[in-house]
Amino acid sequence: MRVALYQCPPLPLDVAGNLQRLHQLALEAKGADLLVVPEMFLTGYNIGVDAVSVLAEVNNGESAQQIARIAKSAGIAILYGYPERTEDGQIYNAVQLIDANGERLCNYRKTHLFGDLDHSMFSPGADDFPLVELNGWKLGFLICYDLEFPENARRLALAGAELILVPTANMIPYDFIADVTVRARAFENQCYVAYANYCGHEDEIHYCGQSSIAAPDGSRIAQAGLDEALIVGELDRQLMEDSRAANRYFLDRRPELYGDLNKR
């Protein structure tokens, strides 16, 4: 499966503009099976409580329907970030996967909120860590800060994830996350990790770019720098199987020793 990541400066508060560039991207990524864009791509990330409240949409709302049409017309699955409003009025930092037929496959809500910025705008997601299948690969989802808690990626890997998709809005000075943590999560969980970040700045936030796709052996199969880029990597099942055969992490685990970790 070929996976494309779009690293870009945010277009805050411009839903129409972001939908337009998503349409263009879907055409440019022709030949890829999946296009992944950053966290809160639809509206921008650092937009404030009032704007999030106005721009939040239900998961089958107007923007979702338009993205479904884009995915179907371009023949590519799309994972995008957006603010989700539920029937009870809660607002979540969410990502949604729509397949190449325009069908909604999965909606995931960020479970670990980052700092005052996230906590002021969003409710935390519950304990649902869905897995879906796309083109024969089992996909799991995390959003930005979620990846920094090793339990999240391990939970997905133990459930069978072969690719963990991570739309993010990671900023300086946390660029070591993009450089080190992404590859570490891929290696320690023996799966691919695709990390789609912003570049440029949004008010006082300066994004660190460095979007990448990390392989189960800890290598990178695609890597962006600090500027806008569309990168593509091809997942190799044989590489994953060879890496899993050579790495004994899952065989050598001793879960009977780890129970107390969940009690603290």
In 21-136, beta strands by DSSP E: 34-36, 77-85, 91-98, 104-109, 131-134
pLDDT in the model for residue 226: 98
pLDDT in the model for residue 259: 81
Answering whether pTM is above 0.95, one says: yes
The residue annotated as part of the active site, out of 8, 106, 144, 208, is 144
The residue annotated as part of the active site, out of 8, 57, 84, 110, is 110
Structure confidence by residue, pLDDT tens digits, 190-227 = 999 999 999 999 999 999 999 999 999 999 999 999 99
- The structural domains of the chain, with segments of one domain joined by +, span 2-263
pLDDT in the model for residue 28: 96
Residue 222: its H or E element: strand 220-223
All residues at 6 or more sequence positions from 129 whose CB lies less than 8 Å from its CB, including other chains: 108, 111, 140, 141, 152, 155, 156, 159
pLDDT in the model for residue 262: 66
How far is Cα 88 from Cα 224, in angstroms, rounded to an integer?
39
> Residues in the chain with pLDDT < 70?
262-264
pLDDT in the model for residue 94: 99
- Whether 110 sits among the annotated catalytic residues: the reply is yes
Structure confidence by residue, pLDDT tens digits, 225-247 = 999 999 999 999 999 999 999 99
All residues at 6 or more sequence positions from 124 whose CB lies less than 8 Å from its CB, including other chains: 109, 110, 111, 112, 113
Domain 2-263: homologous superfamily in CATH: Carbon-nitrogen hydrolase (3.60.110.10)
